Amino acid sequence: MEAVINEIKKPENLVYGKTKVLTDNVMHYCPGCSHGVVHKVLSEIIEEMDIQDQTIGVAPVGCSVLIYNYIDIDWQEAAHGRAPALATAMKRLRPDRYIFTYQGDGDLAAIGTAETIHACNRGENIVIIFINNGIYGMTGGQMAPTTIEGMKSSTCPFGREPVHDGNPLKMTELLAQLPGTAYVTRQSVHTAGAVRKTKKAIRKAFEKQKENKGTSVVEVVSTCNSGWKMTPVEANKWMEENMFPFYPLGDIKDV
Amino acid sequence: MAKMIGTIEVDIETCKGCSLCVEACPTNVIALADEVNGKGYNYAYMANPDACNGCTNCALVCPDSCITVYRKKVEMV
């Protein structure tokens, strides 16, 4: 078998490898974190579209604040929640560049709700990638606006109760109603099939930006296994059973 | 009849042993090793290399991009 394996391991038989847009730095994320998969998908699209020197990302606040160490493109760091405002300025100054923001749910749906909604309502020609794991992962798993009913977090240890804690916010559905958005979709990265679909969705969002159609929002329902206190495999199962009924996957708006 | 045979190469030092690839593999090729890497994680390895058909599912779900997949078509006699 060893001989057969060495026979196959040749450059001409290579079908999948790490893209060159990703740097060699080892990611600081916990084992099984969805951020790594989304970084990879994003890098692959940038490589496929050959826009590495024309893309500028806006890094968020949260675990992925160090995204500029991992994806080898130009980056700007925004204050918490202000990524769409910064991206607006960048796109208006450099309309020839591909501009995207990469934000978590605490960033996009809590502190940055105003910036997000107004950027989408103005129809700024940017791509917003929204990583929704239902909690504030980096600061210790506190309740976020997107925490679903009954979900446990460190600030609602008995599960979220709408009477006491308010209702979870479906940010993507909200943004789909605005006339400025061109493409609004919700995807996930829990299986290989879902990763392929997410890749198609992000690619489509970048194509829309190329055609000056308006704002594209790609929500990725993801896991935070450390914050949820589960193994990566359990977290994916929990997400399928509990998150997907409330956050159904698929395209919400496609103009 | 032609058959696809594949193999994977795991970057052992980058692997964090999350076992998402073990779950994603349709032919149960991958398992976590009993040994650990430099960071103390039980890394993924090919426990059953004969069954690999190079479908790339493991590499797609790997958050740390540490799996490289090779595939070759061979004629069966």
Chain B within 8 Å of A29 (Cβ-Cβ)? yes
| Distance separating alpha carbons of residues A39 and B32, to the nearest angstrom | 24
Measured CA to CA, the distance from residue B20 to residue A236 in angstroms comes to 9
User: Average pLDDT by consecutive 10-residue portion of chain A (255 residues)?
Assistant: 81 91 93 94 95 94 92 94 95 95 92 94 95 92 93 93 92 94 95 95 95 95 93 94 95 92
Return the number of CB contacts < 8 Å for A and B. Answer: 96
Q: Where are the domains of chain A?
A: 30-254
d(CA B54, CA B8): 7
Per-residue confidence (pLDDT) for residue A3, from 0 to 100: 78
Asked if A58 reaches chain B (Cβ–Cβ under 8 Å), the answer is no
pLDDT at residue A9, rounded to an integer? 87
Give the three-state DSSP class for A95: coil
> In this structure, are residues B71 and A44 in contact, taking their beta carbons and an 8 Å threshold?
no
Minimum-distance CB partner of B7 among A5, A19, A195: A5
Query: Tokens 């998969």 appear where?
Result: A37
Cβ of A15 within 8 Å of Cβ of B24? The answer is no
Q: Which helix (H) or strand (E) holds A173?
A: helix A171-176
Residue range B2-75, CATH number: 3.30.70.20
Exposure b/e, A20-45, CB count within 10 A at least 16 = b? ebbeeeebebbbbbbbbbbbbbbbbb
In this prediction, residue A33 carries a pLDDT of: 93
The per-residue pLDDT for range B6-49, each reduced to its tens digit, is 999 999 999 999 999 999 999 999 999 999 999 999 999 999 99
Written as six digits, the tokens of B65 are 């991009």
**In contact, A76 and A90? CB cutoff 8 Å:** yes
CA–CA distance, A2 with A134 (Å, rounded to integer) = 45
pLDDT computed for residue A8 by the predictor:
85
Strand partners for B68: B9
Q: Which amino acid is at A42?
A: L
A233 vs B: CB within 8 A? yes
Q: Which of A228, A246, A242, A215 is nearest to A30 (CA)?
A: A228
pLDDT at B75 over 90: no
- The architecture CATH gives domain A30-254: 3-Layer(aba) Sandwich (3.40)
What is the distance in angstroms between the Cα of A14 and the nearest Cα belonging to chain B? 4
Using alpha carbons, list the distances in angstroms from residue A1 to A194, B1, B12: 32, 20, 20
Residue with tokens 């995204």: A67
Nearest to B61 among A7, A9, A192 (CB): A192
Distance CA B31, CA B23 (A): 9
Residue from A10, A12, A16 whose CB has the most chain B CBs within 10 Å, to mutate: A16
Interchain pair B5, A36: CB under 8 A: no
The pLDDT value given to residue A163: 93
Token pair 């791509």 in the structure block, residue = A127
**Separation of alpha carbons A248 and A219, rounded Å:** 11
The amino acid sitting at A194 is A
- Confidence at residue B36, expressed as pLDDT on a 0 to 100 scale: 94
Helix boundaries (H) for B1-77: 20-24, 57-61
Instruction: Determine the pLDDT at residue B77.
Output: 66
Domain range annotation of chain B:
2-75
Residues of chain A in contact with residue B65, where contact means CB-CB under 8 angstroms, are 18-19, 22, 36, 40
